[in-house]
Structure 1
Amino acid sequence: MNGVVLLGRAVGAEWVKLWSVRSTWWCLAGAAALTVLGAVTVGAGEATDLARAAAGDASVTASGPVVSAAALVPFALAAMATLVITAEYASRGIWGTLQAVPVRGRVLAAKALVVAPVAAVAGVLSGAAATAAVTAVLSADVFGARVALPPDRIALDLLRMGLFFALVSVMTVGVGAAVRSAAGTLSVVFMLLMGVPMILLMTGGSAALAASLRMPLFAGLAFMESADTVTGGPIPYPAGEGLAWLLAWTTAALAAGHAVLRRRDA
């Protein structure tokens, strides 16, 4: 049978499994809540700083705080992506999955192809909701109505955020296939996104700083052109390079997951 047809059937099965559990809905709701609350907090802080500085007509782009808050959100979507693969190992359901789809690379591809669009759409929709919330809050007199709504910039920010979330989620699927436990996968993903970069930053060395800025979270922030990061400013390389590093990390995680899935029994 045609490989594309078989992959399509595997994707359909994974799609049903994803939406048949409550954890998916809770993770998506958590991602949306983090996006909105984080963006409003960041936006209010930026508007307050402008007011204190008497910055004239300077304003906050409504989607800017949303992008800055995006650093908090991948963990909720990573939890969803983790369960897509590790829940089957915990329940031994992976045996049935591999019997139905013996080509293990196809199993991993199907899971990635389901997780990616869900995370991307979640990023765009939660980002749009957060942008609306930032606009509503910063339009209040107490914040000096310092908010701008350039449609082209907002659309680009939301699309980039959706792609960032999709790639982080797919990377998590790869890590989950290699690690096979929910706790282990979340620990590895946390270390990749936040733990190791923070440790490298604390060393203070230039080589360590350069390495930390090219790990997945900072690469994603560079791709989204975030102007407010834990480094105290924008990432010092262009958005295209950020996307390249993010793709490299995602590819490496999938390759590791595929290697383990092929060589080890379920």
Structure 2
Amino acid sequence: MTATLRQAVGAEWAKLWSVRATWWCLACAFALTVLIAVTLGGASATDALREYDGDAGAARAAGVRVVASEAVVSATSFVQFALVALAMLAITSEYASGAIRVTLQATPVRGVVLAAKALVVGPVMLAAGVLSGAVATGVVYAVLSADVFGGLVVLPAGDAVADLLGTGVFYALVSVTTLGVGAAMRSAAGTLTVMFMLLLGLPLVILMTGVPALLDASLRMPTFAGLAFMGSTDNLTGGPMPYPAGRGCCGC
């Protein structure tokens, strides 16, 4: 890392943590992760019990299990927008306030500025994904261990680690993509609109057409590709992904 890039990274780190929006976005991401993961996990356990007429013993004998960390992975489709907002503000707020002029005077090379922002935002989002996912996984396991959910919840250590790391990587990649869109759009409203359409709006619209070729295209867009990368079994498609988890990081 060059001295210029190192200095730019230090400046971006200070800017990120000096505003309240960072803390609010991270707090919302943590709260949403826990809330949505518990809701989805509870729904999975309830559906499993319903198939066996509420007989938890029969469900367990049939091998039915609810993996606590899988609920966290499923929650990423919704939680990602709290972190998209944070990544968006890291770039568009400077254009809105005019502070980008000072930033570019200090570091005249735009590529270095964007690289510095990515080197700060990416790791922060990865850590946020892992930490919020770990907390949510623990809460899901504790809640679903109650008798009302039939004791179907399990927490395999290997699966949990893979799910949490995958979640963190997914959030980091989405956030870096948001930085790029924000640099191009230079507008918070424009960036948020483009990212919403890219991550959720357009894939779902295409999915509803039912056209096989369009369906395949939608499954290769960022959200579905991310779910495949994380090994999700709940991807809104009603069937398996058309490519393995290892290819989900590029959607190819």
TM-score w.r.t. length of structure 2? 0.94
Distance across 1 between alignment mates of 2:84 and 2:108: 26
Aligned-partner residue type, residue 11 of structure 1: V
Matched residue pairs, number?
Answer: 244
Corresponding residue of 1:56 = 60
Kept after mapping to 1: 8 A contact 2:92/2:186: yes
Which of the residues 136, 140, 162 maps onto 1:134? Answer: 140
Corresponding residue of 1:165 = 171
Aligned-partner residue type, residue 25 of structure 1: W
Which of the residues 210, 213, 218 maps onto 2:216? Answer: 210
Matches within 5 A, 1:82-101: 82-101=88-107
Percent of residue pairs bearing the same amino acid type: 64
Distance across 2 between alignment mates of 1:22 and 1:137: 31
Distance across 2 between alignment mates of 1:231 and 1:209: 9
Kept after mapping to 1: 8 A contact 2:34/2:135: yes
Corresponding residue of 1:33 = 31
Runs (4+) off by over 3 Å: none
Corresponding residue of 2:4 = 6
Root-mean-square deviation (CA), in Å? 1.1
Which of the residues 14, 17, 30 maps onto 2:15? Answer: 17
Distance across 2 between alignment mates of 1:88 and 1:220: 29
Distance across 2 between alignment mates of 1:210 and 1:217: 13
Kept after mapping to 2: 8 A contact 1:225/1:234: no
Aligned-partner residue type, residue 81 of structure 1: A
**1:155 partnered with 2:157:** no
Which of the residues 195, 198, 210 maps onto 1:189? Answer: 195
Kept after mapping to 1: 8 A contact 2:60/2:152: no
Measure how far apart 1:153 and its partner are: 0.6
**1:123 partnered with 2:129:** yes
Structure 1 unaligned spans of 5+: 249-266
What secondary structure sits across from 1:71 in the alignment? helix
Corresponding residue of 2:230 = 224
Alpha-carbon displacement from aligned partner over 1:37-58 (angstroms, at most 9, x marks no partner): 1110111011111212222342
